[in-house]
Chain A
């Protein structure tokens, strides 16, 4: 349980990629996403994967990317089997399932290296309404809290004889009820208290709140952004101009 929870919790790491302007990280991640999505040969996929894994290595997040991959592996296998049944081609099926993994990596590069603070910054610079941004950041902030709640409730119910791990699927789902109800009740109480605390701390007093941190792009950010854009265009050009067989 803790192991799963860990995957969702952002950890501050010092790396050249982490320290980029979050908007640049988003750009790079989006470019990689498109390039993964449109890759159609083993060579292309191999190159894209290699690039992404090097970025992950530079960002010291290989382990966490690996963890994400393990989670997506099941689905990737599913894609492989479906395609194999449909196309009877091992190669096509492999490309499809690896492409799926590449897409997962491209998005997780952004989410693993971007703190909720930075996410908030990105959302603000996209001019999303303050309430939406706040709801989102609060949700992220409370993920670890709710996970701990859930773990504690499961432990408490276990000590009263609830056997979560036993029985068939329907039975197991039914056994989640004594866990879910206190969890929901807890969360409702929490949200009531949160609303009180927000009001008490002048939430919504002005339409344009200021921010303690100001994010400004440095020269390095601009260089990385420009460089990645050029690489992106070249890659797309190569995709279009020099179609390679699978």
Chain B
């Protein structure tokens, strides 16, 4: 069994940018049994270690299906017509066991409530490690470390029904982080959060990436929040990848809106100003734009 032991921590930290490719989806097509259409079609995607990649697209376009194919639920739990291949780290997803994949890819589902099993926060975080028969001492250290990273140490003894939505999500995320995955997938992580908590989550993702080098693949509709920390924006439509690039260029692309992507207001403003002939560079926050406009004004 490929269970990470203590000396592995060092290796695990600072993985990422030095790692090269972490995910490779090659020509993937998948059709659920008895479904008429392929949910994902001819999909190509490579992600480098340490990147934060956003996956966007209209409802039903196959985002969750793609995520399942990356973490192994497809084809290990969902059978169906499967073409092409997916590799994560050193594993070929269709051939690796779920227990190996669980230590390479972590998936955070949309509703954190349904991924917390145990009666106390710390027991739940330990769930994956217990399943891998990690010795209790090492488990203790890793659980404590995960709680510290997510700032939930004081919740250790709480029961799930005593937590707010934001806290539940952190607990669920801790349960994923504790497995020391190299890639973490978040499926619409902000959809159940209020704006303030959502912003905190985005900051948390950025911090985790910077501290641990973990790669993030995030399905999200609230682009204005995430686009600031993203390295790439991938747009999907009807099972296919239709746009892929730096978030600024993808958001500047005329086609993005046509694919049902809601362009954040600040990007719309920027695009408009560019069309009006202002030579703007790319940046995201209102501050960036203000600064550029100031510079522009002084330059004239």
Contact residues in B for A117 (Cβ distance below 8 Å): 118-120, 123
Quick one: which of B224-271 are within 8 Å of A by CB? none
Interface string of B107-137 (1 = CB under 8 A from A): 1010101111111101100111111111110
Chain A interfacial residues counted at CB < 8 A: 36
In the complex, what residue of chain B is closest to A138 when comparing beta carbons? B117
- The answer on a CB contact under 8 Å between A202 and B131 is yes
How distant is A64 from chain B, measured CB to nearest CB, in Å?
16
Cα distance A115–B159 in the bound complex, in angstroms: 10
How many chain B residues touch A (CB < 8 A): the figure is 47
A195 to B115, CA, bound (A): 9
Highest count of chain A CB atoms <10 Å: which of B68, B72, B130, B160 = B130
Question: A184-203 vs B: 1/0 string, CB under 8 Å?
Answer: 00000010011111111111
Given that A12-B157, A196-B73, A200-B107 are known contacts, is A141 also in contact with B119, CB under 8 Å in the complex?
Answer: yes
Asked whether B143 is an interface residue with its Cβ less than 8 Å from the other chain, the reply is: yes
CA distance A182 to B128 in the complex (A): 31
Inter-subunit contact A210/B139 (CB<8 Å):
yes
Query: Smallest CB-CB separation from A198: which chain B residue?
Result: B117
**Given known A194-B114, A197-B109, A201-B102, contact A212–B143 (CB-CB < 8 A):** yes
Point out the residue from B98, B117, B118, B133 that lies within 8 Å of A199, measured CB to CB: B98
The minimal Cβ–Cβ distance linking B52 to chain A, given in whole angstroms, is 20
Min CB–CB distance B170 → chain A (angstroms): 16
- Residue B91 at the chain A interface, CB threshold 8 Å: no
Q: Which residues of B contact A201 (CB under 8 A)?
A: 102, 115, 127-128, 131, 175-176, 179
The residues of B with any CB-CB pair to A shorter than 8 Å are 1, 68, 71-73, 76-77, 97-99, 102-103, 106-107, 109, 111, 113-120, 122-123, 126-136, 139-140, 143, 157, 159-161, 175-176, 179
